[in-house]
């Protein structure tokens, strides 16, 4: 049954070793982010095989799936109050920006006889999570240090995910300096200074990450072999870890341009079409709930993706040399969001290749 996502674990392992080697050379440890593939333990196990000792996810439910792996587990999104008990059970550490939540984590950890590690987030311009007021962050750090059920593990920043503010030397220097200040106020050095995600790699390789920043939370670079600042592929990496196969259910010559009055889509936009004349078009049993059109590329370079509805993928196969037939499959190379949707969809089977 199709559609199927094929996961090339050998190529993933190559990516992990290549990217972590780049980071180790700069004295930076990696937290491997598992949210793209829904915390699938078979894929996360490849992270651990590649030498990654910290795993991060934005869902506690995904961290539950990772409990059998020998790695420190991080929740990389500020915790919800309603999930604090599960957080303490399944995560070793979490990124936080609210004192009330930290207090709740402290209470839950004490009740379970545990100590939970806390990383305080600072906002350096992306206006997502984190403290803007540095004095407030220092005050929360001091109060966290006094709690018995939590351990102040470090500080971190996130950039490029909401406002797409880029990581730069000035921001990394500010993060490192803030870490020193917090350390001075609490009387000890922080263990973790987390400088962001795959968008910081380009800056790191150019020597722009300040000494003292010792961690990056990486997902896209490990899985797809590219950094996010310029979307360039990293040396020694592969881009073909995830391949989606979908089955052709209709194959007919049709006009390039529809006829009739054009309405709007579900987002209120009117579609536009390029007139290429009569073309051979394939419809595959795959839709937007299963993958992302914008971050998918046909393996057959002569195929054009025309678009998709919720459960139909429309392709122009006129120029292909393959001579496709109904019932045959077409392969798509998946990017970040396409992989995320495929692993979220229960209609897409997952097959693992060693």
Q: Which residues contact 71 (CB under 8 A, 6 or more apart)?
A: 32, 44, 47, 48, 52, 53, 54, 55
User: Please, which residues have CB within 8 angstroms of residue 126's CB and are 6 or more apart in sequence?
Assistant: 158, 159, 160, 161, 162, 163, 164, 165
What is the distance between the alpha carbons of residues 68 and 44, in angstroms, rounded to a whole number?
Answer: 11
Cβ(284)–Cβ(313) below 8 Å: yes
How many residues are recorded in the chain? Answer: 354
Classify 294 as helix, strand or coil.
helix
Residues 6+ apart with CB under 8 A from 44: 32, 34, 37, 55, 65, 66, 69, 71
CA distance 161 to 148: 33
CA distance 116 to 133: 24
Is beta strand 192-194 parallel, antiparallel or unpaired with respect to 150-157? parallel
Told to judge if 281 belongs to the known catalytic residues of this protein, a careful annotator would answer: no
Mapping DSSP to helix (H, G, I), strand (E, B) and coil, where does residue 2 land?
A: coil
- Spot the catalytic one: 9, 35, 254, 350: 35
The residues annotated as belonging to the active site are 35
């Amino acid at each position: 049954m199709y559609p199927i996502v094929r996961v090339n674990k050998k190529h993933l392992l190559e990516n992990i070793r290549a990217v972590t080697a780049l980071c180790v050379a700069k004295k930076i440890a990696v937290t491997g982010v598992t949210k793209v593939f829904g915390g699938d333990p078979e894929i996360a196990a490849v992270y651990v095989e590649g030498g990654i000792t910290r795993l991060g996810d934005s869902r506690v439910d995904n961290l539950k799936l990772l409990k059998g792996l020998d790695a420190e587990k991080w929740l990389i999104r500020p915790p919800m109050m309603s999930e604090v008990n599960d957080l303490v059970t399944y995560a070793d550490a979490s990124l936080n920006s609210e004192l009330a939540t930290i207090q709740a984590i402290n209470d839950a950890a004490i009740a379970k006889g545990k100590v939970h590690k806390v990383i305080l987030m600072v906002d350096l311009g992306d206006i997502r999570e984190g403290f803007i007021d540095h004095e407030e962050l220092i005050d929360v750090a001091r109060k966290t240090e006094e709690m018995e059920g939590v351990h102040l593990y470090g500080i971190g920043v996130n950039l490029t995910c909401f406002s797409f503010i880029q990581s730069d030397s000035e921001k990394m220097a500010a993060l490192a300096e803030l870490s020193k200040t917090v350390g001075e106020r609490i009387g000890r050095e922080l263990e973790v200074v987390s400088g962001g995600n795959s968008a910081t790699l380009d800056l790191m390789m150019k020597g722009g990450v300040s000494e003292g920043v010792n961690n990056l939370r990486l997902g896209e670079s490990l899985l797809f072999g590219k950094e996010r600042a310029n979307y360039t592929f990293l040396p020694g990496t592969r881009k073909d870890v995830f391949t989606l196969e979908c089955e052709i259910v209709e194959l007919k010559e049709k006009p390039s341009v529809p006829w009739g009055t054009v309405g709007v889509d579900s987002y209120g936009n009117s579609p536009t079409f390029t007139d290429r004349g009569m073309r051979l078009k394939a419809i595959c049993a795959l839709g937007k709930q299963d993958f992302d059109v914008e971050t998918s590329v046909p393996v057959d370079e002569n195929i054009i993706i025309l678009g998709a509805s919720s459960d139909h993928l429309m392709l122009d196969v006129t120029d292909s040399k393959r001579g496709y037939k109904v019932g045959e499959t077409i392969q798509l190379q998946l990017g970040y969001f396409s992989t995320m949707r495929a692993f979220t969809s229960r209609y897409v089977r997952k097959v693992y290749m060693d």
